[in-house]
Amino acid sequence: MNMKKQLIIALRLLGIMAVLLGIVYPLFITGIAQVCYKAKANGSLVEMDGVVRGSQLIGQQSDLAVYFHARPSAADYNTLPSGASNLGLTSKKLHEVVEARRAEFIEANKLASDSLLPAEMVFASASGLDPHVSPQGAILQVGRIVQNRSYSSKQKAELIALVNKMTEKPQFGVFGCSRVNVFMLNLELDRIK
């Protein structure tokens, strides 16, 4: 077989595989995802009153005192340059950032200066977009929200119950840990009268 025939065969095979694996296969998988997992395939978007409010999968900044605050983000919750700060545990800059976040969280939530905080309230996630905090991280913020929304003690108990209701258990009972999606919790918070 000469070189020209081998080149033609290789180019035909390349064309067939490009169409098959670059067009047919992705369309097939997308079709299955749209039929079986429509919401997840479209980004787990949350729509209220015909308006997309966000995605269950992406954390959002909530600096207002009347809302639960998500964990810090090294990317300022921007999806394009998402990622970690890449600062190591021995980094002086990381230590300073964590101490500043700790002081800010304690002051905002009027906690004792020696309070133990869950790690996710002072450390950013690897992606910078994680929407979850631990139930403890959410409960520590209840007092601030109660005060800024002028809730009664009965409403405070309802708010704690809401945090407990919104707590997701570890997947299959073993993978991960209990967590609360702050974005979804804040949407539920807005529904409380």
pLDDT (tens digit per residue) in 114-165: 999 999 999 988 887 888 999 999 999 999 999 999 888 888 999 999 999 9
Q: Are residues 116 and 173 in the same domain?
A: yes
- CA nearest neighbour of 138 among 78, 176, 79, 180: 180
Q: Are residues 28 and 84 in the same domain?
A: no
The fraction of the chain above a pLDDT of 70, given in percent, is 99
Q: Is residue 48 situated within a structural domain?
A: no
Q: Are residues 22 and 102 in the same domain?
A: no
The residue range of the domain holding 73 is 55-191
> Band of the pLDDT at 55, cuts 50, 70, 90?
confident
Q: Are residues 18 and 89 in the same domain?
A: no
Q: Are residues 79 and 164 in the same domain?
A: yes
Q: Please state the rounded mean pLDDT for residues 166-178.
A: 91
User: Using one digit for the tens of pLDDT, what is the confidence trace for 22-31?
Assistant: 999 999 999 9
Q: Is residue 64 situated within a structural domain?
A: yes
pLDDT at 193: 63
Cβ contact 111:140 at 8 Å: yes
> Band of the pLDDT at 1, cuts 50, 70, 90?
low
Indicate whether 10 pLDDT > 80. Answer: yes
Task: Looking at 50-152, list the stretches that DSSP marks H as alpha helix, in order from N- to C-terminal side.
Answer: 92-108, 135-139, 142-148
Pairwise pLDDT comparison (122 vs 79), residue with the higher score: 122
Q: Are residues 81 and 114 in the same domain?
A: yes
pTM: 0.78
> Band of the pLDDT at 175, cuts 50, 70, 90?
very high
Domain count, the chain: 2
Q: Are residues 25 and 64 in the same domain?
A: no
Indicate whether 83 pLDDT > 80. Answer: no
Q: Is residue 91 situated within a structural domain?
A: yes
Identify the weakest region by mean pLDDT among 8-12, 53-57, 99-103: 53-57
How many Cα atoms are found within 13 Å in the side-chain-facing hemisphere of 39? 9
Q: Is residue 44 situated within a structural domain?
A: no
